[in-house]
Amino acid sequence: MVKNHLFKSDKSPKNIQIKKEIISHFINTGNDTISELAKELDLSVPTVTKFIVELIDQGMIAEFGKIQTPGGRHPIVYGLNPSSAYFVGADMSRHHLNVALMDFTGRLVENEMGIAYTYQNTTESFDLLCGHLQNFIDRTGEIKKKIYHINLNISGRVNPETGYSYSSFYFSEEPISEILSSKLHYPVSIDNDTRAMAYGEYMKGVVENEKNVIFVNVSWGLGIGIIIDGKPYYGKSGFSGEFGHFPIFDNEIICHCGKKGCLETEASGLAIHRMVIERIKQG
């Protein structure tokens, strides 16, 4: 999603929306000509040309040569300027943290995997998380001046629109996204980890020529990510995909969500860990 802070100098909501659509086209399709952009966005060639020139002036779009055609003028190919903006993505699990830096085209520039971090639902654990993220940002050097956005993936009940995480770090009435923003001094968003994985596979991973996808994440917990018509499905409250908390089993095991008999109590990494501990104790 292209955020408005990329277009601080623009005053017209309509112009901002068109620029978002142009950038989204380049993200999803790759480099293209003005004529093809005009067809795709159902806009006139002069209108698209005007916005392309403005985006070039803003440093977000660049020329990438010409297409060789049999006759006439060779059309210029345009695309995203990779070094115009950078984004940080962080994936938080129960036992480690993965952080990556991407350029404007989504190319991986730098990453640090398996950072030692033990999640606990405490302010101390949250501060430690912020420290790891800040350390990673500081190591990017001059690039950090061009970081436009940070996204943190969290398991459980996450509403990316409001910025609240109801399963982790729900300490105050202030959304966790706003707390992170004030600590890191960058715009920050959050999303459910499985939903983010699903969209990652759709955009840059194993999914090919499909618009509707179900991604199953079996790890410490159990969840699914849903893509419908090429867009992440969030559900009415933003909590879609909490598959592991369907009441399936007739047992007395209390899930971390507070209910009994959830699918996750018998089919997840957490369940396997519990069973192993129980059997070790039984000899």
Q: What is the pLDDT of residue 220?
A: 86
Query: What are φ and ψ of residue 104, in 5° steps?
Result: -65, -20
List the domain boundaries for the chain. Answer: 4-80, 85-196, 208-279
Eight-state DSSP code of residue 249: -
Query: What are φ and ψ of residue 212, in 5° steps?
Result: -120, 120
Q: What is the pLDDT of residue 258?
A: 83
Single-letter code of the amino acid located at 143: I
Q: Record the tokens describing residue 241, joined without a space.
A: 């995909």
CATH of 4-80 given 1.10.10.10, 1.10.3720.10, 3.40.50.1970, 3.40.50.720: 1.10.10.10
Q: What is the pLDDT of residue 219?
A: 87
The CATH code that applies to domain 85-196 is 3.30.420.40
* Sign of the four-CA dihedral 41, 20, 58, 80: negative
User: pLDDT tens string for the chain (283 positions)?
Assistant: 344 456 666 778 899 999 999 999 999 889 999 999 999 999 999 999 999 999 999 999 999 999 877 767 789 999 999 999 999 999 998 889 999 999 999 899 999 999 999 999 999 999 999 999 999 999 999 999 999 999 999 988 889 999 999 889 998 889 999 999 999 999 999 999 999 999 999 988 899 889 999 999 998 889 999 999 999 999 887 788 888 888 899 998 988 888 899 999 999 988 999 999 999 999 8
Determine the Cα–Cα distance for residues 150 and 137; give it in Å rounded to an integer. Answer: 10
Indicate the helix (H) or strand (E) that contains 195: helix 193-204
Q: What is the pLDDT of residue 1?
A: 38
Determine the Cα–Cα distance for residues 74 and 197; give it in Å rounded to an integer. Answer: 40
Determine the Cα–Cα distance for residues 275 and 48; give it in Å rounded to an integer. Answer: 60
One fold for 85-196 and 208-279: yes
* Sign of the four-CA dihedral 202, 246, 266, 160: positive
Strand partners, 61: 80
Q: What is the pLDDT of residue 9?
A: 66
Q: Domain 208-279 - what CATH class?
A: alpha beta
